[in-house]
Structure 1
Amino acid sequence: MSKTTNYSLTINAPIEAVFEVIDSDEHMKKWMDGFIENQYDENYNRENPVGHKFKQKLKEDEEIQEYEGEIISYKPPKELSVRLKHSNFTVDAIYHLSSIGANQTNLDYECKLEMESMMGFIFSWFEKRILVKQLDRLKKYAEERFDGVL
């Protein structure tokens, strides 16, 4: 079973500033609920990360969950895609950014969810609610952080 969710929003900050907020683990801690860390493989190349694996740790309902991750697309400052795998599902999170003015960025987010069971349909309803909340937090953080200065 698979489901794709799309969400778009305009962020009042330049594309480079928004990409940095999405791309940096330190910034992710400020806007992504439950994000603890990404642990990258020993050969991780920051300049060319496509194909590199990592483990992502998230705190969910007082438990720490670990996901197997892979960077599937990296085109700064316009695109970042990651694949996260858990025992019951795989998620591709795709961030497409486009500049719509000197200090405005359009973010088109796509989430492709592949589920192993019917549980996935229940998860997809929660995922949509969580998605909107997370992306609104990303917008608020990027705008506050930018505040007219790059």
Structure 2
Amino acid sequence: IRRNDIGFVYQFHHLLPEFSALENIMLPQLVHGLPKAEASERAAQLLDYMQIGHRANHRPSELSGGEQQRVAIARAVANAPLVLLADEPTGNLDPTTAGYVFDALSALMKQSGLAALIATHNHDLAARMDRRVTLKDGKVVSL
């Protein structure tokens, strides 16, 4: 279930440094059994959607923090999961870049019907979600 139906985005992107942005997105698709040509095409489409198609052949060390996080999001949705779990996906980004990454993630959710559970301390971004659950000291304090 995890490999097929759930995508993960972490606060730190966890991209493989020896691979390009395109290859980082292709890897989960190849593991899933998609032919290399199809995985490459899907990865390129996702990079274009995230507005970083021009950075496809760059390694993570050559990308900005926002670009790295967009690659991580594209990788997480490459296999068209039913659910996306995101832990502070904008936590390491400046406010402007965080807003852009969040907008891209929101658009992907709406376009694909993807359900997402996003943990964030950013109240501005949380306010833009369709539904919010607030936790305090490990307990639900509002729905």
The answer to whether TM tops 0.5 is no
Q: Give TM-score, length-normalised by structure 1.
A: 0.30
Q: Give TM-score, length-normalised by structure 2.
A: 0.31
Looking at secondary structure, tell me which structure has more helix per residue: 2
Looking at secondary structure, tell me which structure has more strand per residue: 1
